[in-house]
């Protein structure tokens, strides 16, 4: 039991740290499983999805007032209603593709080689975008145009390839479409809410027959650790990326991906 608690804490930290950074939480969890054998077995594969809800609640806690006001104004305020429609439009492509090809993607793409190559390519793209002389014209994540929301949602679908990064794909798309760095990052947080809640509900339903009291306890520990870690990371990330951009995260991806390829080539 103690070993499982330690494992849950480590995976909770990895999830909380990487979920909202453009570095791919799924990719990092897969590499942790491959090189440190911390996520082996069906339960631990489900665990990695279930604790994402802790990270989502961190977003709800940090943006509670803004999201509450949007919820209250959804039927009376056109701007609030348009934002809700925009989030649903952005969520739709991933929901459709995930339902249609989720099994195929997990069967053929969820392996450490794909993760490592995706990390490196994604890092190079982040470096490229960071060097562009972009002139953002959208500074509020709740006020993008509806076509822009949909386009970001389409870009997010690339994150079905492990290692690409859901937040990274949506942030890059938003910036290329005219959002500033902070607004792009914030919308990636908002878009994560329906995306990850959907993944959580689906995995919880699939795993319902396997869950024991001990399993629920372990999930709860990972959930709390993920929640606390994500709150710290999100607040720090927004300040950092506004001032310094994405270079640090791009190089982190390249280094992790390269070390992973070396380890795989050596048979580790």
- Write the CA distances from 111 to 40, 161, 226, 228, integer angstroms: 13, 10, 23, 29
Number of structural domains in the chain = 1
Q: What number of residues does the chain have? A: 268
Question: Exposure string (b/e) for 47-67, b if CB count within 10 Å is 16 or more?
Answer: bbbbbbbbbbbbbeebbeeeb
Region of 40 on the Ramachandran plot (φ > 0 left; ψ -120 to 50 alpha; else beta): beta
Region of 119 on the Ramachandran plot (φ > 0 left; ψ -120 to 50 alpha; else beta): alpha
Q: Report pTM.
A: 0.87
- pLDDT tens-digit readout, 14-59: 888 888 899 998 899 888 888 877 655 666 666 777 777 888 889 9
Q: How far apart are CA 35 and CA 121, in angstroms?
A: 21
Residue 136 domain boundaries: 2-265
> Could you please report the per-residue DSSP string of 166-215?
HHHHHHHHHHHTTB-HHHHHHHHHHHHHHHHHHHHHHHHHHHTTT--HHH
> Residue 138's beta-bridge partner residues?
179
- pLDDT tens-digit readout, 149-200: 999 999 999 998 999 999 999 999 999 999 999 999 999 999 988 877 777 7
């Amino acid at each position: 039991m103690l070993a499982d608690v330690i494992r849950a804490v480590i995976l909770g930290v990895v999830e909380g740290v990487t979920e909202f950074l453009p570095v791919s939480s799924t990719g990092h969890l897969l590499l942790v499983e491959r090189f440190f054998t911390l996520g082996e077995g069906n339960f631990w594969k489900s665990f990695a999805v279930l604790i994402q809800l802790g990270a989502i609640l961190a977003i709800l806690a940090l943006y509670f007032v803004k999201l509450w006001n949007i919820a209250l104004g959804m039927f009376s305020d056109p701007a609030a209603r348009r934002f809700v429609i925009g989030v649903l439009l952005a969520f739709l492509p991933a929901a459709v593709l995930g339902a249609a090809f989720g099994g195929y993607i997990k069967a053929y793409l969820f392996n450490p080689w794909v993760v490592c190559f995706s990390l490196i390519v994604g890092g190079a793209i982040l470096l490229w975008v960071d060097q562009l002389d972009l002139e953002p014209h959208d500074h509020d994540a709740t006020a993008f145009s509806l076509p822009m929301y949909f386009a970001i949602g389409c870009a997010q679908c690339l994150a079905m390839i492990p290692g690409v990064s859901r937040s990274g794909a949506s942030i890059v798309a938003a910036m290329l479409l005219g959002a500033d760095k902070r607004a792009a990052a914030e919308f990636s947080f908002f878009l994560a809410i329906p995306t990850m809640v959907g993944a959580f509900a689906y995995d919880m339903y699939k795993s319902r027959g396997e869950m024991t009291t001990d399993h629920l306890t372990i999930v709860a520990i990972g959930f709390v650790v993920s929640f606390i870690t994500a709150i710290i990371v999100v607040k720090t990330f927004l300040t950092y990326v506004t001032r310094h951009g994405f270079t640090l995260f791009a190089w982190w991806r390249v280094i992790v991906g390269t070390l992973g390829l070396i380890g795989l080539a050596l048979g580790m």
